[in-house]
A and B are shown apart, each in its own frame.
Chain A
Amino acid sequence: MKKKRTIHLAMSTVAALTITSLAAIDIGDPWVDADVKMKNVDGSKVSINDIKGKKGTLVIFTCNHCPFVIDWQTRMVELANTYGKKGFGIIFINSNDSATQGDSYEEMQQFAKENGYQFPYVVDETSQVAQNFGAKKTPDVFLFDATGELAYHGAVDDNGRNPERVQKTYLKDALEALLAGKQVAVQETKAVGCSIKFR
């Protein structure tokens, strides 16, 4: 009994050392920070509420240089541009400290232009939007339904490195489900990503 208590005490000490922030939004939760205005690459100020779509809203935390972002970039932009025309609001958010190599505002403008963004790519100036969403890495996908409730959170698909070996197109399936007015079948997935460089 004494030994058990000692172990519990030790584990509490370790737990105190372990820093893990809980996800702020779970499936079914309403979005947060929807009225926060963020600077877009075209110079305007945009909030999630400004761009919300009739079918749903896609928010992706991303950046310019993370190898995982680069791996998924073509697929993310293709989905965003395609479903942006089908009634979805689309916004890509960069929450990295702008001192991070490759993530200055000017580099974001260049990146959006080179990659054919047809949607806002905005700066989360305090990283607070990412914190409040519970986003920890790039890319991190949050798809909300028409009422602003989280319908899907996770990865773009199941193979960032090899597009030709993708077997599960999670985000596309979730977008299609919302488009058809159905519930998303796979609501949460995970993939390795670059940690957001919080300010």
Chain B
Amino acid sequence: MRVRNFIFQICFRRALLVPILLFTYGCRCGIPTPITGIPASTEIIQSSILNSTEPLTLVHVWATWCRPCREEFPELIKIHNEYASKGLAIILISADNPNDFGIVETFLLEQNSPVSSFIATELDQPFIEMLSPTWSGALPSSFFFGSNGKLLTEWEGKKSYEQYAETIEVLLKEITGDTP
């Protein structure tokens, strides 16, 4: 049983690695990559946050079945469109079941999302603490990280475009010393 689990883990991780690498490579080279949901472990998500090349990274945890998350989603797209060229990266993490990646993909396409979303394969305490030791685990939640992976601020619950923009302006100004 252990051997079978080990083989499954290896295959599963390698299978995940391909779309993640393509996604990362495509983004860095300016190649359009298909918008989709990518099942990912806590380790992979953490690595993605740490390797973000932008000065400010907004990590947003959401789910397709979460009403406030759905209501808030268009605001996030507007935020991406306004600030992606000004030093902000957005990493989406869906709390949907990884088996439902098709539902996640359909939602992203319906919303014309410019970014793909990870789908967390673990939603346990290590996942929560990887993002923030003070996060209760409630959805939706947003976390702002500096380029060194340092958590700058966070909040729980739905927010407006203006609330996101205000926080991003302050943080980018603090990090870069310039007004975005």
Q: Which residues of A contact B (CB under 8 A)?
A: 6-7, 10-11, 13-15, 17-20, 23, 67, 100-101, 136-137, 155, 158-161, 189-197
User: Min CB distance, B123 to chain A, in Å?
Assistant: 4
Does A18 lie within 8 Å of B154, measured CB to CB? yes
Given contacts A10-B173, A14-B171, A67-B65, contact A190 B152 (CB under 8 A): no
B136 at the interface (CB under 8 A from A): yes
B75 at the interface (CB under 8 A from A): no
CA gap between A191 and B128 in the complex, in Å: 7
Given contacts A136-B136, A136-B156, A190-B136, contact A10 B129 (CB under 8 A): no
Contact of A195 among B127, B139, B166 (CB under 8 A): B139
B68 at the interface (CB under 8 A from A): yes
Contact of B136 among A7, A11, A15, A137 (CB under 8 A): A137
CA gap between A10 and B171 in the complex, in Å: 7
Which of B125, B135, B139, B167 counts the most chain A CB atoms within 10 A? B125
Does B139 lie within 8 Å of A194, measured CB to CB? yes
Contact of A194 among B125, B127, B128, B138 (CB under 8 A): B138
> How many positions in chain B have a CB within 8 Å of any CB in the partner chain?
35
B170 at the interface (CB under 8 A from A): yes
Interface flags, B54-67, vs A, CB<8A=1, else 0: 00000001010111
User: Min CB distance, B75 to chain A, in Å?
Assistant: 15
CA gap between A19 and B129 in the complex, in Å: 19
Does B155 lie within 8 Å of A19, measured CB to CB? yes
Can you list 27 A-B pairs, Cβ within 8 angstroms, ordered by A? Answer: A6-B174, A10-B170, A10-B171, A10-B173, A13-B170, A14-B153, A15-B153, A17-B155, A19-B157, A67-B65, A136-B136, A137-B137, A137-B139, A155-B125, A158-B124, A158-B125, A161-B97, A190-B125, A192-B61, A192-B120, A193-B137, A193-B138, A194-B139, A195-B68, A195-B138, A195-B139, A195-B140
